[in-house]
Structure 1
Amino acid sequence: AREESTKIMSIRFAQRDAVKADLKQGRHVLNEKIRASQRDRDQRWSRRMQRSPFAVDLVAENQRIDEENRVRKLVEQKRLKEAVTRSRDAHDNIFRRATAESDELDTLRTEKRLLLENERQLKALRDVEKSNARTAQILQARQQRQLQREQMDMHQAQGMTS
């Protein structure tokens, strides 16, 4: 009976091992099917989501946009600064030219003033000379008349004495 019991036990162990192996094999096949199904689903979703905006690294995209904007602002600031510098230089050149012209005008005005003053002085001198010449002429005429009077008086005095 012991032998029979051992034999039955060994058959039962073998049956249990076979059932365990079948279950293990079934679990393994099921797990493989689940993994394959999961892979298929993942592939389908990755194909669907390729063009999705959610697949983009938004932080990196934001950083790239910020960097582009920063560079654009720097370029714009540099361009504006150069434009302001050019404008200031042009304004300075115009101002320098205007002040130089103004200086020339001031010089010309001063020269004209001096010329007018000299002309006035020359005219005054000419007038004085004319006046002096006229006065000299008048004095000479007076002296001649005086001389003539004296000569006439002398002739008359001689004519009366004779």
Structure 2
Amino acid sequence: MAKNIKNRNLALTMLVVIGLVGAIYEAYQCHTISALNKKITAGKVITDDSYPYLQKYTAAYDQGNKSDYKHAIQTYSQLLDQSPSLANQAKIHFNIGNNLFTFGLIRRVNEDGTYQDEARHAYTQAKIAYEQSLRIEPTDISSKFNLSLLNSIMAKNMNAAPKEQSTMELSNLPIGLP
């Protein structure tokens, strides 16, 4: 009977030790995630290689905040290659649309009031990105609002800028049928 009690005490002691080790590990994980969340909330770029997705996401966000829209769009596109969840795909497309929209807004308008080709292209791509975000997450209010705002801007002055005709003659080409 005494041996039976010793075996039970030993088994319970082992369970307590395993539980303590598990609790310490979980506390460490919570601390790590909390520190990571504080960095993200503060707008800092994640430099920890253990979280490559978050590292790339915060880098893209930071590039967009620094008005480096082309690189931000490129970095967000690279995130799509990592097969994120559907919710994250919708957020990525939304952020791509935001960067393209802002990039189009900073492009200059031609003298006749039409948009430059870069702005028109950026608006068209932003529209596609917002629509893709809404296909994945149809209830996203931010994507709906930005798409409607973009559509109101695109409706005006979206004619192609007139191209100047070349005045160069090609005198060595025959005219008409031989």
Task: Provide TM-score, normalisation by structure 2.
Answer: 0.27
The structure with higher relative contact order (CA 8 Å, sep 6+) is: 2
Indicate the structure (1 or 2) with the bigger Cα radius of gyration. Answer: 1
Task: Provide TM-score, normalisation by structure 1.
Answer: 0.29
